[in-house]
């Protein structure tokens, strides 16, 4: 009776009722990432009565999380997100069964963990994790709910949703974006900035999609990419199709891909400050004979640049750090994110003056063209 009272406001909804509530109670949802997307998604799943929830995150609460991850308080700083989240949601709804995974998803654990759940909500903040979740869900025939933000915009979509036997191949993330961007190619929240309500809105929409899929109400965002723009106050929806040269995801593909996930960052280098210079300073600096201009983009990246420089792709940089000349280094890349990371890797090993071109070649070409 108390449960009927707790959920009465949603159970009286047309098309919902006891049957939908029972489906929620029986459902098992894995939430990967307890950040800006994961916190609101988790709170609404718990509120709605999703019976079993797995929460997965290796991070600890930090002060810069608090403006958007409203599950955490100042007194939680330094504690594992999974520990804090489990405590708060058990206070919110003691009937929910919580499974804690206080580590990051990786190639070794993904299949083993995901296989026990009905669906996965992606609350991660990096491409390596998103591609890994996608590939694992395709192998295991599980739907997953994608969410991601960029500055004032957000994406929501559902991938790989369909029941067996399949009448046609399901749309997955690699059908839309077959190739994973390089680390730092597209700015993260940390680098690009984020307003707290954006992941709040997107994470809440992900919870809404989960509730729809579990209960069977409404029309899931499967096969559709929903783009929300906070500044414009509008949204744009795109119907997705499978591209022709999308890869086939099988066990062999899974084994050869997703190799970089545990080696994304060298934590000890990340505290080093790298001085950023604007395009005008860069144009002056690059003619100085004591300055060595280093392009860390991969070899197949465009456009070509017409000034003298050396190229050592980020993927080869670690092996080449001691081959760099005793000069001041000015590092350039696509958006000015990888170049900072490259500078940190170099400074961790070499005592060289290092600059990073702010905004990367994107800013450079915009300035030169103007």
Partner 1 sequence: MKILFFGSLTDIIGVADLCLNGITDTDALQQFLKAQYPMLSSAKYFIAVNQKMISANTPLKTSDTVALMPPFSGG
Site of interaction with partner 1 (CB under 8 A): 33, 35-38, 122-127, 130, 147-151, 153-155, 176-177, 179, 181, 185-189, 192, 194, 199, 225, 227, 232, 236-244, 297, 301-303, 334-335, 359, 361-362, 365-366
The distance of closest approach from Cβ of residue 16 to partner 1 in the complex, given in angstroms and rounded to an integer, is 29
User: Between residues 16 and 127, which has the closer beta carbon with respect to partner 1?
Assistant: 127
The token duo for 320 is 């080449």
User: Between residues 31 and 293, which has the closer beta carbon with respect to partner 1?
Assistant: 31
Nearest-angstrom CA–CA distance, 60 and 76: 9
User: Between residues 17 and 193, which has the closer beta carbon with respect to partner 1?
Assistant: 193
User: Between residues 16 and 228, which has the closer beta carbon with respect to partner 1?
Assistant: 228
- Please tell me what DSSP assigns to residue 351: -
Q: How far is CA 305 from the centre of its chain?
A: 31
Query: CB–CB of 324/352 below 8 Å?
Result: yes
The distance of closest approach from Cβ of residue 40 to partner 1 in the complex, given in angstroms and rounded to an integer, is 11
User: Between residues 237 and 275, which has the closer beta carbon with respect to partner 1?
Assistant: 237
The distance of closest approach from Cβ of residue 359 to partner 1 in the complex, given in angstroms and rounded to an integer, is 8
The distance of closest approach from Cβ of residue 113 to partner 1 in the complex, given in angstroms and rounded to an integer, is 19
Nearest-angstrom CA–CA distance, 232 and 280: 32
Buried/exposed code over 76-85 (b: 16+ C-beta within 10 A; e: otherwise)? beeebbbebb
Nearest-angstrom CA–CA distance, 57 and 305: 41
User: Between residues 24 and 331, which has the closer beta carbon with respect to partner 1?
Assistant: 331
Nearest-angstrom CA–CA distance, 41 and 362: 34
User: Between residues 83 and 227, which has the closer beta carbon with respect to partner 1?
Assistant: 227
The distance of closest approach from Cβ of residue 191 to partner 1 in the complex, given in angstroms and rounded to an integer, is 9
The distance of closest approach from Cβ of residue 35 to partner 1 in the complex, given in angstroms and rounded to an integer, is 5
User: Between residues 117 and 127, which has the closer beta carbon with respect to partner 1?
Assistant: 127
The distance of closest approach from Cβ of residue 368 to partner 1 in the complex, given in angstroms and rounded to an integer, is 10
The distance of closest approach from Cβ of residue 2 to partner 1 in the complex, given in angstroms and rounded to an integer, is 35
Query: CB–CB of 327/289 below 8 Å?
Result: no
């Amino acid at each position: 009776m108390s449960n009927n009272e707790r959920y009465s406001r949603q159970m009286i909804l047309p098309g919902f009722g006891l049957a939908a509530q029972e489906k929620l109670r029986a459902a098992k949802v894995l939430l990967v990432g307890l950040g800006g997307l994961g916190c609101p998604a988790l709170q609404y799943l718990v509120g709605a009565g999703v019976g079993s929830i797995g929460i997965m995150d290796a991070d600890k609460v930090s002060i810069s999380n608090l403006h958007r991850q409203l599950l955490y308080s100042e007194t939680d700083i330094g504690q594992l997100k999974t520990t804090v989240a489990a405590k708060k949601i058990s206070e919110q709804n003691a009937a929910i069964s919580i499974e804690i995974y206080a580590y990051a998803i990786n190639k070794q654990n993904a299949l083993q963990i995901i296989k026990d759940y009905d669906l996965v909500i992606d609350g991660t903040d990096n491409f390596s994790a998103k591609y890994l979740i996608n590939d694992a869900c395709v192998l295991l025939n599980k739907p997953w709910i994608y969410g991601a933000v960029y500055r004032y915009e957000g994406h929501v979509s559902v991938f790989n949703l369909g029941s067996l036997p399949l009448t046609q191949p399901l749309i997955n993330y690699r059908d839309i974006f077959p190739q994973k961007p390089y680390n730092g190619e597209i700015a993260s929240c940390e680098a690009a900035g984020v307003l707290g309500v954006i992941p709040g809105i997107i994470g809440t929409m992900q919870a809404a999609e989960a509730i729809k899929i579990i209960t069977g109400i409404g029309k899931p965002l499967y096969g559709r990419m929903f783009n929300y723009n906070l500044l414009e106050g509008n949204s744009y929806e795109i119907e997705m199709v499978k591209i022709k040269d999308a890869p086939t995801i099988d066990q062999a593909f899974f084994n050869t891909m997703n190799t970089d996930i545990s080696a994304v960052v060298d934590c000890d280098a990340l505290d080093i400050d790298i001085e950023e210079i604007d395009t005008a300073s860069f144009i002056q600096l690059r003619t100085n004979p004591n300055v060595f201009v280093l392009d860390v983009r991969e070899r197949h990246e465009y456009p070509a640049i017409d000034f003298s420089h050396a190229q050592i792709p980020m993927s080869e940089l670690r092996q080449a750090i001691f081959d760099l000349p005793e000069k001041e280094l000015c590092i350039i890349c696509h958006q000015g994110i990888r170049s900072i990371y490259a500078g940190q890797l170099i400074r961790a090993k070499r005592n060289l003056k290092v600059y990073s071109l702010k905004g990367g070649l994107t800013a450079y070409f915009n300035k030169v063209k103007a």
